Amino acid sequence: MNVYEEVSRFYENFEGEKKIIGESEEGRALYAFFIGRHEPPVGISQAAIHGREYITALLSLAHIERGIKRGGFWVLPLTNPDGALLSEEGISSVREKKILLEMNGGTDFSLWKANARGVDLNVNFDAKWGDGVKNLRFPGPENDIGEAPFCAKESMALAAFTREISPDLTVSWHTKGEEIYWRFFQPFFRRQRDRRLAKILSRAVNCPLREAKGSVGGYKDWCIEKLKIPAFTVEVGSENLTHPIKREYLIELIERYGGALNALAEGFHGRAIHA
């Protein structure tokens, strides 16, 4: 069973509140699961926006199973299903075979990060879009910003859903390096607030806080800049592992990162400061 089939089956069997928030460029469902209660803080946890990082989708299913003790979370395990399947199963998983083979320059798609149109979804958000040091302006396995912010169906769906929910915080799951990113040009008061929560997350998952200089246009960046909420990117898995991280490491990842949503919910203080 591939990762999309696994998340789809989980969705069919899930008895709680759930929703399909949109579809991918190849028509696959973008699933959202609600855990906890509709009381503050309500967060969004989204994973596998980069294809080859699909192990984070399985970590998200563990987050859903664990549940939440305070507030609630919308969990979106697989933001980029087409990219995940390209990485996991290769070119057989998509319709647009010829053009994707050209973009990729070969048949090995294991390191693919983008969606099925060669747009890197995590540089396609409207937050200093196009100003990143690694940004590219042509489709490919990674770093293509797209023709405009939100030109990709997946990033558009995620942004629209986030606006609809208006969460108190968000967390994004990536691989790898065991570190946390939390900054994006916040003014003083929000920086203090966000650093405090970042430290709580850091202690809960035993990962240091880092700065991603020159990295813009991501979901976390957009949440911080446009929604003015705390937003975090967690890079799971040892830097020594190779992409894509094999399923045999999932148990370790769940042990280390399984409590993250509860730590964020418990550590959150009050509503956003609109500074």
- Contact residues toward Zn ion (CB under 5 A) are 50, 53, 174
Nearest CB to Zn ion, comparing residues 72 and 141: 141
Distance, CA of 113 to CA of 98 (rounded, Å): 18
Which two structure tokens, joined as six digits, stand for 127? 């937050």
Quote the least distance from Cβ 53 to Zn ion, whole Å: 5
Distance, CA of 248 to CA of 87 (rounded, Å): 17
DSSP element (H, E) containing 37 = none
- E strand residue ranges, the chain: 18-23, 29-36, 42-47, 72-76, 169-175, 179-181, 209-210, 231-236
Quote the least distance from Cβ 101 to Zn ion, whole Å: 23
Quote the least distance from Cβ 122 to Zn ion, whole Å: 6
Quote the least distance from Cβ 149 to Zn ion, whole Å: 18
Nearest CB to Zn ion, comparing residues 55 and 261: 55
Quote the least distance from Cβ 234 to Zn ion, whole Å: 10
Nearest CB to Zn ion, comparing residues 42 and 47: 47
Nearest CB to Zn ion, comparing residues 50 and 153: 50
**Cβ-based neighbour number of residue 29 at 10 Å:** 16
Nearest CB to Zn ion, comparing residues 104 and 233: 233
Q: What is the 3-state secondary structure (H, E, C) of 73-87?
A: EEEECCCCHHHHHHH
Distance, CA of 264 to CA of 174 (rounded, Å): 17
Nearest CB to Zn ion, comparing residues 38 and 247: 247
Give CA 9 to chain center in angstroms: 20
Distance, CA of 38 to CA of 137 (rounded, Å): 40
